[in-house]
Amino acid sequence: MCGIVGYIGRKEAKPILLNGLSRLEYRGYDSAGIATIESDKIVTIKSLGRVSDLEKATGMDAIKGTLGIGHTRWATHGKPSKENSHPHMDNSNSFAVVHNGIIENYANLKDFLINNGYTFISQTDTEVIPNLIHFHYSQSNETGNKKFIKAVTDTCNMLKGSYALEILANDFPDNMIVVRKDSPLVIGKGQDEKYISSDIPAILSFTKDFYLLNDNEFAFMSRDNIEFFDKGLRPIQKQAQNITWNAGAAEKEGFEDFMLKEIHEQSKSIRETIGSRIQENSLSSLPDLEMTKEYLESVNKIFIIACGTAMHAGYVGKTLIESLCNIPVEVEAASEFRYRNPIINDKTLCLFISQSGETADTIAALKLARFKGARTIAVSNVIGSSISREADYTLYTHAGPEIAVASTKAYTAQIVLLAIIAIHCAEILGINQEKVQELRNDILLLPSQIEEVLKNTNDIKAFAQRVYKEEDMFFIGRGVDYAVALEGSLKLKEISYIHSEAYPSGELKHGPIALIENDVTVISVLTDRLLTEKAISNIQEVVTRGAKTFIVTNQELNHSFDTVINIPKTNVLISPILSVIPLQLLAYYISKEKGLDVDKPRNLAKSVTVE
Ligand code: G6P
């Protein structure tokens, strides 16, 4: 995955690069490095481990340059080591490159370079890039800036795969080139300065004006100028866009961790995602979604495609859309969908959910769906993200930047937006009006109900203290409660490293119940009035076998159970927005009890921009 950051301006680059890298560590933290221009010459400093290790690396004190690039690595090609850390340089130390992505044809390119006398010191795919730039540069007949630019575009024309690159050259100590293809990169615009980053929050404290690059677009920068061009060197006109996120949104603001802060932000993020889309006593408003009754009546299948938590939001979306729009919905992991030749035609509507909008599998699935003739809708939290640029329509969740690797506020914002989409389509179709009206009213109550849920954390904390040493847990639920069970189980795995499985309650008897014995923890979600009796029977079955239970419910239970977390009553279709919160908190407190890094769990990255 990796994160990249850059600065060109009049301030010292080092603190800006280190600050940006530490904010991008959620993208990978195997190693880190920077390159700056010191007295017209490139100097690189790298270190194994985290950005905090890089800060202490030898030579860091002497770095004073006002132009530089930085990288935090999530290893793909080559183990985490200093040699494999970025920035990488060519053999003559004339070019420095940081890279996020994967060069799929690097082995062929390496052979080509070896045949031309180049040698390699790392096992990375990236090291071919500075050497190819050097190869083209040394063969070039061009002069001036064009010589540097052409060497970079010629190089990129040879690369297969994904890349966001920042490139420095000794011969151009006042310039930097950046380019992206299928990996994220944004350029923040300041006064005679530019900030480059893999995402907006990492540089939000410096600027709110951003240039968003499309695939295969290059930027050639000096301190006071920026030129954009395509791979045929044709100039492109670009306007900076103003981003309304506030800088504080990317800070912990008094919370111990980003995850806890983000859990507590859910009332606000739901309120902002609802915005003026749903208002009392009026129809929903989704001006970005141009759907006609004729078109919706022609749709015979909806696919919801996503990864991880976003896919779990999709499961809730399925119930919402099927209940309100009477159209069959299938939810699929993007990594499966993209390789299985799904049956799609112009009567298929595909909805892609991605917080970051940069998940490689989701982007590939979206491209496939478009190629096969489906209409596509993207649901994303990041303005200008890749999926938003690929899809026919984009609807944004307004959750603000989500920094913790484990997704919380984006999930609930995705569900509320899916609910609004379902309502909107049902209104256009003119069906299920009573249900729709009820749901609209219930959605408006959610922000204050979330605040209520967040007031009662003591029992959750106490349960976490009891169970944090356990090795296995089970999550059960029926209908949308099962969707929430899946998400609760994923949260627990991600940040506490406890093995857990989620099952539809009715499936317990078909295998998992064999694993229930004295003191095993079973976590149950119970918000569907119509299924309460059945769900209680399932809980009784595990209690009889000695399980301890943690039940999240908005129903009156006429039995006494171990720990019961009561949440406010709401429409069952949107109950996951409330019922997931105690599960997010349970995973959080268990992780804290275990003394783990909640925001940056091992092996995980927030945005998976490789397959
Ligand atoms: C990674 C993250 C998850 C996230 C998933 C999808 O696995 O660790 O938290 O749910 O990617 O990310 P997206 O940005 O596409 O929603």
The reply to whether 487 and 372 lie within a common domain is: no
In order, the DSSP letters of 370-412 are: HHTT-EEEEEESSTT-HHHHHSSEEEE-------SSS-SHHHH
Question: If you measure from the C-alpha of residue 411 to the centroid of ligand 1, how many angstroms do you get, rounded to a whole number?
Answer: 10
Q: Which atom of ligand 1 is nearest to the CA of 362?
A: 15
**Residue 307 beta carbon below 6 angstroms from any ligand 1 atom:** yes
**Residue 362 beta carbon below 6 angstroms from any ligand 1 atom:** yes
CATH number at residue 412: 3.40.50.10490
Residue 587: is its pLDDT beyond 90?
yes
Q: Which atom of ligand 1 is nearest to the CA of 604?
A: 8
**Residue 333 beta carbon below 6 angstroms from any ligand 1 atom:** no
**Between 43 and 78, whose confidence is greater?**
43
Q: Is the peptide bond before 87 cis (omega within 30 degrees of 0)?
A: yes
**Residue 601 beta carbon below 6 angstroms from any ligand 1 atom:** no
Structural domain span for residue 544: 458-593
- Confidence at residue 187, expressed as pLDDT on a 0 to 100 scale: 96
∠ CA 432-438-442, nearest 5°, is: 140
Dist. CA 503–CA 269, nearest whole Å? 29
Assess if residue 606 is contained within a domain: no
The reply to whether 73 and 16 lie within a common domain is: yes
- Confidence at residue 448, expressed as pLDDT on a 0 to 100 scale: 96
Dist. CA 520–CA 343, nearest whole Å? 42
The reply to whether 158 and 171 lie within a common domain is: yes
- Confidence at residue 79, expressed as pLDDT on a 0 to 100 scale: 82
- Confidence at residue 39, expressed as pLDDT on a 0 to 100 scale: 94
The reply to whether 186 and 335 lie within a common domain is: no
Dist. CA 62–CA 603, nearest whole Å? 33
Assess if residue 510 is contained within a domain: yes
- In the listed set 433, 451, 469, which residue is the last one of a domain according to the structure? 451
**Residue 407 beta carbon below 6 angstroms from any ligand 1 atom:** yes
Total domains, the chain: 3
The reply to whether 198 and 288 lie within a common domain is: no
Short-list 2, 38, 389, CA closest to 197: 2
Assess if residue 600 is contained within a domain: no
The reply to whether 511 and 365 lie within a common domain is: no
Dist. CA 147–CA 154, nearest whole Å? 11
CB burial readout 324-363, b (16+ within 10 A) else e: bbebebebbbbbebbeeebebeeebbbbbbbbbbbbbbbb
Please compute the mean of the pLDDT values over residues 294-311 and round it to a whole number: 97
Q: Are strands 95-103 and 241-242 parallel, antiparallel or unpaired?
A: unpaired
CB 503 within 8 Å of CB 541: no
Please compute the mean of the pLDDT values over residues 410-421 and round it to a whole number: 98
- In the listed set 233, 249, 265, which residue is the last one of a domain according to the structure? 249
Residue 227: is its pLDDT beyond 90?
yes
The reply to whether 464 and 405 lie within a common domain is: no
Residue 248: is its pLDDT beyond 70?
no
**Residue 155 beta carbon below 6 angstroms from any ligand 1 atom:** no
Task: Give, using CA atoms, the residue closest to atom 4 of ligand 1.
Answer: 308
Please compute the mean of the pLDDT values over residues 565-573 and round it to a whole number: 97
**Residue 505 beta carbon below 6 angstroms from any ligand 1 atom:** no
Give catalytic residues, as residue numbers. Answer: 2, 606
Question: If you measure from the C-alpha of residue 310 to the centroid of ligand 1, how many angstroms do you get, rounded to a whole number?
Answer: 7
Q: Which of 42-46, 201-205, 282-286, 428-432 has the lowest mean pLDDT?
A: 201-205
Please compute the mean of the pLDDT values over residues 260-289 and round it to a whole number: 92
**Residue 388 beta carbon below 6 angstroms from any ligand 1 atom:** no
Question: If you measure from the C-alpha of residue 573 to the centroid of ligand 1, how many angstroms do you get, rounded to a whole number?
Answer: 23
Strand positions, DSSP E, 397-478: 472-477
Question: If you measure from the C-alpha of residue 200 to the centroid of ligand 1, how many angstroms do you get, rounded to a whole number?
Answer: 17
Question: If you measure from the C-alpha of residue 43 to the centroid of ligand 1, how many angstroms do you get, rounded to a whole number?
Answer: 35
Residue 560: is its pLDDT beyond 90?
no
The reply to whether 109 and 226 lie within a common domain is: yes
Could you tell me the pLDDT band of residue 590, with boundaries at 50, 70 and 90?
very high
> Which residue do the tokens 């998976």 mark?
608
Q: Which atom of ligand 1 is nearest to the CA of 308?
A: 10
Mean pLDDT of the chain: 93
Dist. CA 236–CA 213, nearest whole Å? 10
Please compute the mean of the pLDDT values over residues 508-515 and round it to a whole number: 84
Pick from 607, 609, 610, 611 the residue to mutate for probing ligand 1's pocket: most ligand atoms within 8 Å of its CB. 607
**How many other C-beta atoms can be found within 10 angstroms of the C-beta atom of residue 77?**
15
What percentage of the chain has pLDDT greater than the value 70? 99
Residue 489 CB partners (closer than 8 Å, separation 6+)? 473, 475, 500, 501, 502
Span 447-486, pLDDT tens digits: 999 999 999 899 999 999 999 999 999 999 999 999 999 9
- In the listed set 406, 433, 451, which residue is the last one of a domain according to the structure? 451
The reply to whether 281 and 312 lie within a common domain is: yes
Assess if residue 610 is contained within a domain: no
Residue 363 CB partners (closer than 8 Å, separation 6+)? 182, 386, 387, 390
- Confidence at residue 1, expressed as pLDDT on a 0 to 100 scale: 67
Residue 317: is its pLDDT beyond 70?
yes
In this structure, what are the phi and psi dihedrals at residue 98, rounded to the nearest 5 degrees?
-115, 150
**Residue 309 beta carbon below 6 angstroms from any ligand 1 atom:** yes
In order, the DSSP letters of 18-46 are: HHHHHHHGGG--SEEEEEEEETTEEEEEE
Q: Which atom of ligand 1 is nearest to the CA of 406?
A: 9
Q: Which atom of ligand 1 is nearest to the CA of 356?
A: 14
Span 169-179, pLDDT tens digits: 999 999 999 99
Residue 586: is its pLDDT beyond 90?
yes
Question: If you measure from the C-alpha of residue 606 to the centroid of ligand 1, how many angstroms do you get, rounded to a whole number?
Answer: 6
CB 479 within 8 Å of CB 528: yes
Most confident of 103-107, 388-392, 495-499: 495-499
Q: Which atom of ligand 1 is nearest to the CA of 494?
A: 8
In this structure, what are the phi and psi dihedrals at residue 344, rounded to the nearest 5 degrees?
-135, 140
Span 357-387, pLDDT tens digits: 989 999 999 999 999 999 999 999 987 788 9
- Confidence at residue 508, expressed as pLDDT on a 0 to 100 scale: 84
Assign 245 to helix, strand or coil: coil
- Confidence at residue 315, expressed as pLDDT on a 0 to 100 scale: 98
The reply to whether 223 and 270 lie within a common domain is: no
- Confidence at residue 269, expressed as pLDDT on a 0 to 100 scale: 94
Please compute the mean of the pLDDT values over residues 267-279 and round it to a whole number: 93
Could you tell me the pLDDT band of residue 254, with boundaries at 50, 70 and 90?
confident
Question: Rg (Cα) of the chain, in Å, rounded?
Answer: 25
Assess if residue 598 is contained within a domain: no
- Confidence at residue 125, expressed as pLDDT on a 0 to 100 scale: 92
Q: Which of 236-250, 442-456, 482-496, 503-517 has the lowest mean pLDDT?
A: 236-250
The reply to whether 363 and 500 lie within a common domain is: no
Could you tell me the pLDDT band of residue 27, with boundaries at 50, 70 and 90?
confident
Please compute the mean of the pLDDT values over residues 384-399 and round it to a whole number: 90
Dist. CA 4–CA 164, nearest whole Å? 8
CATH number at residue 185: 3.60.20.10
The reply to whether 418 and 294 lie within a common domain is: yes
Residue 65 CA: distances (Å) to CA of 34, 43, 174, 273: 11, 9, 10, 42
What percentage of the chain has pLDDT greater than the value 90? 75
Please compute the mean of the pLDDT values over residues 287-310 and round it to a whole number: 95
Span 333-362, pLDDT tens digits: 999 999 998 899 999 999 999 999 989 999
**Between 363 and 76, whose confidence is greater?**
363
The first and second tokens of residue 275, run together, are 């915005």
CB 609 within 8 Å of CB 414: no
**Residue 308 beta carbon below 6 angstroms from any ligand 1 atom:** yes
Please compute the mean of the pLDDT values over residues 406-427 and round it to a whole number: 98
